[in-house]
Structure 1
Amino acid sequence: MTLHNRSRYGRYAGGPDPLAPPVDLAEALDAIAEDVMAGYSPRHALQEFLRRGGRDREGLDNLARRVQQRRSELLSRHRLDGTLNEVKKLLDTAVLEERKQLARDAMMDNTERAFREMQLQNLPPSTAAAVNELASYDWQSSSAREAYDRIKDLLGREVLDQRFAGMKQALENATDEDREAVSEMLRDLNELLGKHRRGEDTDEDFRQFMAKHGDYFPENPQSVEELVDALAKRAAAAQRLLQSMSPEQREELMRLSAQAFGSAELMAQLNQLDDSLRALRPGEDWNGSERFGGQEGLGLGDGTGVLQDIAELDELSEQLSQHYNGSSFDDLDLDALARQLGQNAAVTARTLAEIERAMQDGGYLRRGADGDLRLSPQAMRRLGKSLLRDTAKQLSGRQGGRDTRVAGAAGEQTGSSRQWEFGDAEPWDVTRTMTNAIRRTMADGGDPGRGLHLAIGDIEVTETEARTQAAVVLLADVSFSMSAEGRWVPMKRTALALHHLVSTRFRGDRLQLVTFGRYAQSMDIGELTALPPLREQGTNLHHGLLLAGRFFRQHPSMQPVLLVVTDGEPTAHLLADGESWFCWPPDPETIRVTVAELDRLARSGTQATFFRLGDDPGLERFVQRLARRIDGRVVAPETGDLGAAVVGAYLRTHFRDGLYDDDWTAGI
């Protein structure tokens, strides 16, 4: 006999889709880095991305907006007189049927008939008062008596439904035994909660209660505390429902409640329950109210459910805001979000949480010595690679330009290799290429001894290094005007792209990043990326040139290359005592010492390129004079082309044999 294994497949309901693609962090990293370069802290930048969301994904703000829309929709759709209207309809039916019976009953004494008709005719206008007045009426019509008894049954089910969701439907057409079982449950529940308030209950007390009455609690609480939580939320919502009614509606319902199941004991038990829950959970909102303005009437139970939904929506709104101290995605109730906005909303929130986790666990954000988050070196490399790729596209689109993937073409081998990319002209690294093919074949279950088939991903090329090594200084203006005129982030993107190019393709070169505002200082790429916009006045090019000269002297065997990015004339210089002297318009002494320092760099053979940002005529005249003194060049790129201009100028120092035409940089 052969046994066949059979499997049944259905919709996955155990959490995130196991077949969903992994979270792509590239978009998040780009957005976070952009905000960091604009001056935000990495923590704030991460929070902002999670609030905004991505191109194809909602953020927290949109989820919060949908939560508020859902709340407004509930309030604008409903009104709270559903139970009163149902009772009034049943009362009208009972009175009408009784009058019909009185008219048909020929055997009834005329005096008695007139008395009964007068009773029915003179019922109070208040529904509750009329129901109470008819409590002792001797109904002649069986259908009238049935309609009136249904009022008591409806009220009983509604007041129970206020405290126990689903009770209205569960007790429809209930027998006396069913109602007695409910009363017994209430007595046992009040006894359990009373013992719990006094600290006298045990786990066994709870187990026995649930074993006996667990069917009344679909929430399936696992402890007395969970039971109290569920009951208190519902009871508080029921109280807010009453507070949301008009005083007239509230009075009517309170008077009608006495007729629930025709049992005063029931109301006493429910009042005792409410008292216990208030004492055990005083932090619940027992006194709030809402303003309903719709057309769809709600009964007591359904209305309580809506108030519970509104309370849950308010909690979700607070969780999504993430404004409170110690807030985190772990606080977000995904089950509640799915109930209120649908499963897709919960999936979105879970994905955002995964992005937050992955940004830290994946090594893109790390904590510094001060405990705050920082962009990690791994994140800087990935960001630099992305920015360099964008710059390469700009360069390859220039007339006469070549792709910047070449790592020192016509140079000497560095001993390193990298994966082949389209357009590479370097020789193959045969050993690494064959090793990659063998590993891939074995991983796919193949036998390398039976032959190999090369795939594109197997190929690695030998990296080469340009013969001319350079000591490069990027002088970046960080004066107030750079941030005020929208040039702050492009300047940082330029520095990142250049840094990545030098550190990955021209490892023999040395790069120094120097910022100059009121003072100049050398920075590593992480410090520059995180540098907030500065509001101090001063463009101290003199100090920046001093630091550049010091760096060049530390690398005497390398070709000195100076790249200056600025949007203003020098307005500050360094005094002998180390203090910065600021003056606007530029002081002649500032111009003199700045030019003198540039002349010293010229005598050491420095190749200089000045990148003029903006249309200041004074700056244009000044940098042109500087360029002529040092036999340098001036480039006036648009802000968005700054990265391509700087990287292109750097590449010219290595490829002066016609690989890049002069027309290429002139067109920037």
Structure 2
Amino acid sequence: MGAHEHMSRYGRYAGGPDPLAPPVDLAEALDAVAEDVMAGYSPRRALREYLRRGGPRRPGLDELAGRVQQRRHDLLNRHRLDGTLEEVRKLLEDAVLAERKQLARDAAMDDTDRAFRELQLENLPQSTAAAVNELDSYDWQSGDAREAYERIKDLLGRELLDQRFAGMKQALEGATAEDREAVEAMLRDLNELLDKHRRGEDTEEDFRGFMARHGGFFPENPQSVDELVDALARRAAAAQRLMQSMSPEQREELMRLSAQAFGSPGLMSQLDALDSNLQALRPGEDWSGSERFQGREGLGLGDGTGVLQDLAELDGLAEQLSQSYAGSSLDDLDLDALARQLGADAAVSARTLAEIERAMQDSGYLRRGADGDLRLSPQAMRRLGKSLLRDAARQLSGRTGFRDTRSSGAAGEPAGSSREWQFGDAEPWDVTRTITNAITRTAADGGNPASGLRLEVGDIEVAETEARTRAAVVLLADISFSMAAEGRWVPMKRTALALHHLVSTRFRGDRLELVTFGLRAQSMDIEGLTALPADREQGTNLHHGLLLAGRFFRQHRALQPVLLVVTDGEPTAHLLPDGEPWFSWPPDTETVAATVAELDRLGRAGTQVTFFRLGDDPGLERFVAAMARRTGGRVVAPDAGELGAAVVGEYLRAHFHGPADDAGWVP
């Protein structure tokens, strides 16, 4: 292998993403998306909402869109479009004043001639354009006056060219006759090329020849005739919108003045032909729109056209940021345009949002279901459950009598299984599995295990233990409409997800059933419960939920039955013998009797029952207190934000304390 194959090439950083920036952190995005999913949004809509809102340190699409609209507002309210007319008017005044001074001090001039000239200057039309045209044949006596008048023609020519070719006003300042001839030659050749392109008769050689002769007029360096047409058409359409945005009087003045551009009527003929060619080639551009300018800073034709282009670019960015069209994606964002209009920081923010959108799908947190829509993946559910359980543990650590979930399962009999060590684990090492992992890794790395082993953190496995009391746990979750209306819908789902993660990762010997009850009850998996929308369903059919809980307990007779009931209302529905629900408000005595009877059956079977009462409804307060007394259970009345910690705490209490001796009210 040659030495040159090892060489690297380096260069100065030239913009773009920060090369030292850390990878995009999806934790914040996933938490926000999951929160909206649990509130009833689809994952796709939830992701869109997060991208719109952004994060605490990152502007979202809505903020960027607001800045786009503010920039648009500022442009319209800062400028007015009569800058060229004002400049021409000032040059005309300078020319007339200089001429009058010359006439006054020219003693050799014939008095009749002087009087005639003064009368002619005195009676110039009020219209600037008419006055300029009338003075076209005037024999100026003052050199300064003649120079000022010629500057009007020069200005008009440069402004008209600047409308179509950005930067031409500055480039042609002080231009010679040869420079102007070069411009006219470029326009003739350009119109010839575009005319052939319209007819489909142009060739690649035609374009290359044109650029070889006139490429200096096009700093954009187009690589094809279509790129050339695109750039020219956008500018020409903005020039047309500029004229449409003027008052009729301003438009008429400029049209009449245009005949004086460079003192060459042929220039306007070439520009008109150019506009005609471009409009025919790009009819989809906005050639007839207008804007309302209300500012004080006068704009010339070229600068005004640039502002109209900015406004069009801002409108395009607003549409891209809205993401409201079919098939929209943040990859559609024109980051270069965003940087031009709002600065580099805005482009970096938009790029980060686009990376988050891609990474949320590429990372596996979102997956497409059979219906083609996005869903939270099991990987996302595990990560969320872990986060929510950590939050619950943090709340529990501040409560007397509750244990940190990291120690849960540490005491008890070995379960016969092991798992990878995690920070905070207090379980004993599984020495056999740990040594086996070290041997396997050493051999895979090309080492010789017989020569000695070096343990790494990833080798360590701990022996799982299970609490002496294995449990069959049913979480009964109220999904009546009041839960959503009172802001308890998301806390209920967060609670279910935290409990599910705790059982599935730390108490694998337990069995957990999630049962929802509204007008009816049904068993649900965690994915279904997390995505469950908030329906406007009346009914709190606790009776049906208890029936499903009893069936689950009978399927797991060897386990300690634990029932956790989350509700914010009295029972208002029960299941009839034919399987249909019966709803009544106020609660019917038959509904209450059926519910109590099912609770009594569960109590006689040794079920540990805990009610989590949400809200301050007096009827619910009386009902759950009475039920706790009948079943030897407990009542916990947490705030909605503390529901997860309360449920996890009661689950752990059932494991480590067995049936509660202090049954009754827990404030």
TM-score by length of 1: 0.93
Give yes or no for contact 1:571–1:583 (8 Å, CA) kept in 2.
Answer: yes
Give yes or no for contact 1:420–1:459 (8 Å, CA) kept in 2.
Answer: no
Aligned to 2:193: 192
Deviations along 1:483-535, whole A, 9 cap, x unmatched?
A: 11111111101000000000010111111100011110010001000101121
Deviations along 1:179-237, whole A, 9 cap, x unmatched?
A: 11111111111111111212222222222222222221222222222222211111111
Work out the CA distance in 1 between the residues paired with 2:295 and 2:178. 38
Q: 1:446 to 1:250 in 2, by over 3 A?
A: farther
**Correspondence 1:392-541 to 2 at 5 A:** 392-411=393-412, 412-422=414-424, 424-430=425-431, 461-541=462-542
Work out the CA distance in 1 between the residues paired with 2:254 and 2:468. 93
- The SS at the match of 1:653 is helix
Aligned to 1:638: 639
Deviations along 1:329-372, whole A, 9 cap, x unmatched?
A: 12211111110000110110110011111111111111111111
Give yes or no for contact 2:472–2:511 (8 Å, CA) kept in 1.
Answer: yes
Aligned to 1:107: 108
Give yes or no for contact 1:477–1:516 (8 Å, CA) kept in 2.
Answer: yes
Q: 1:436 to 1:243 in 2, by over 3 A?
A: farther
Shift of 1:647: 0.8
**Correspondence 1:26-65 to 2 at 5 A:** 26-65=27-66
Aligned to 1:224: 225
Shift of 1:563: 0.9
Aligned to 2:294: 293
Q: What stretches of structure 2 of length at least 5 have no aligned partner?
A: none
Work out the CA distance in 2 between the residues paired with 1:510 and 1:312. 59
Q: Mean alpha-carbon deviation: is it higher for 393-402 or for 450-459?
A: 450-459
- The SS at the match of 2:350 is helix
Aligned to 1:120: 121
Work out the CA distance in 1 between the residues paired with 2:642 and 2:104. 97
Shift of 1:459: 5.8
Work out the CA distance in 2 between the residues paired with 1:655 and 1:323. 54
TM-score by length of 2: 0.93
Give yes or no for contact 1:400–1:661 (8 Å, CA) kept in 2.
Answer: no
Work out the CA distance in 2 between the residues paired with 1:156 and 1:414. 91
Aligned to 1:653: 654
- The SS at the match of 1:609 is strand
- The SS at the match of 1:570 is coil
Aligned to 1:158: 159
Work out the CA distance in 2 between the residues paired with 1:146 and 1:598. 104
Q: Does 1:19 align with 2:34?
A: no
Shift of 1:428: 3.1
- The SS at the match of 2:55 is coil
Work out the CA distance in 2 between the residues paired with 1:347 and 1:469. 53
- The AA in structure 2 aligned to 1:415 is S
- The SS at the match of 1:463 is strand
Give yes or no for contact 2:634–2:665 (8 Å, CA) kept in 1.
Answer: no
Give yes or no for contact 2:474–2:512 (8 Å, CA) kept in 1.
Answer: yes
Aligned to 1:330: 331
Q: 1:564 to 1:154 in 2, by over 3 A?
A: same
**Correspondence 1:354-369 to 2 at 5 A:** 354-369=355-370
Work out the CA distance in 2 between the residues paired with 1:159 and 1:329. 38
Q: 1:452 to 1:662 in 2, by over 3 A?
A: farther
Q: Does 1:245 align with 2:218?
A: no
Work out the CA distance in 2 between the residues paired with 1:104 and 1:455. 102
- The AA in structure 2 aligned to 1:245 is M
Aligned to 1:74: 75
Aligned to 1:560: 561
Shift of 1:431: 6.1
Work out the CA distance in 2 between the residues paired with 1:61 and 1:6. 43
- The SS at the match of 1:307 is helix
Q: 1:365 to 1:288 in 2, by over 3 A?
A: same
- The AA in structure 1 aligned to 2:527 is G
Q: 1:28 to 1:439 in 2, by over 3 A?
A: farther
Aligned to 2:349: 348
Work out the CA distance in 2 between the residues paired with 1:371 and 1:219. 43
Give yes or no for contact 1:401–1:661 (8 Å, CA) kept in 2.
Answer: no
Work out the CA distance in 2 between the residues paired with 1:449 and 1:21. 40
Give yes or no for contact 1:408–1:654 (8 Å, CA) kept in 2.
Answer: no
- The SS at the match of 1:512 is strand
Aligned to 1:569: 570
RMSD: 2.7
- The SS at the match of 2:574 is strand
Q: Does 1:542 align with 2:543?
A: yes
Q: 1:350 to 1:93 in 2, by over 3 A?
A: same
Work out the CA distance in 2 between the residues paired with 1:464 and 1:655. 13
Give yes or no for contact 1:407–1:463 (8 Å, CA) kept in 2.
Answer: no
Give yes or no for contact 1:418–1:463 (8 Å, CA) kept in 2.
Answer: no
Work out the CA distance in 2 between the residues paired with 1:23 and 1:103. 77
Q: 1:607 to 1:657 in 2, by over 3 A?
A: closer
Deviations along 1:69-92, whole A, 9 cap, x unmatched?
A: 101111111111111111112112
Q: Mean alpha-carbon deviation: is it higher for 490-499 or for 107-116?
A: 107-116
Q: Mean alpha-carbon deviation: is it higher for 185-194 or for 380-389?
A: 185-194
Work out the CA distance in 1 between the residues paired with 2:146 and 2:8. 59
Give yes or no for contact 1:418–1:462 (8 Å, CA) kept in 2.
Answer: no
Shift of 1:467: 3.0
Shift of 1:400: 2.6
Work out the CA distance in 2 between the residues paired with 1:153 and 1:523. 80
Q: What stretches of structure 1 of length at least 5 have no aligned partner?
A: none
- The SS at the match of 1:354 is helix
Give aligned-pair identity as a percent: 79
Paired residues, number: 661
Give yes or no for contact 1:162–1:238 (8 Å, CA) kept in 2.
Answer: yes
- The AA in structure 1 aligned to 2:24 is V
Q: Mean alpha-carbon deviation: is it higher for 486-495 or for 608-617?
A: 608-617
Work out the CA distance in 1 between the residues paired with 2:26 and 2:144. 70
Shift of 1:123: 1.6
Work out the CA distance in 1 between the residues paired with 2:665 and 2:451. 56
Q: Mean alpha-carbon deviation: is it higher for 318-327 or for 428-437?
A: 428-437
Shift of 1:319: 1.1
Q: 1:131 to 1:443 in 2, by over 3 A?
A: farther
Q: Mean alpha-carbon deviation: is it higher for 235-244 or for 336-345?
A: 235-244
Q: Mean alpha-carbon deviation: is it higher for 140-149 or for 56-65?
A: 140-149
Shift of 1:303: 0.5
Work out the CA distance in 2 between the residues paired with 1:439 and 1:344. 49
**Correspondence 1:126-275 to 2 at 5 A:** 126-275=127-276
Give yes or no for contact 2:609–2:628 (8 Å, CA) kept in 1.
Answer: yes
- The AA in structure 2 aligned to 1:401 is F
Q: 1:436 to 1:143 in 2, by over 3 A?
A: farther
Deviations along 1:551-608, whole A, 9 cap, x unmatched?
A: 1121121111111111111111111221111111222222222222222222322221
- The SS at the match of 2:513 is strand
Deviations along 1:143-186, whole A, 9 cap, x unmatched?
A: 22221111111100000000000000111111111111111111
Aligned to 1:388: 389
Shift of 1:456: 7.3
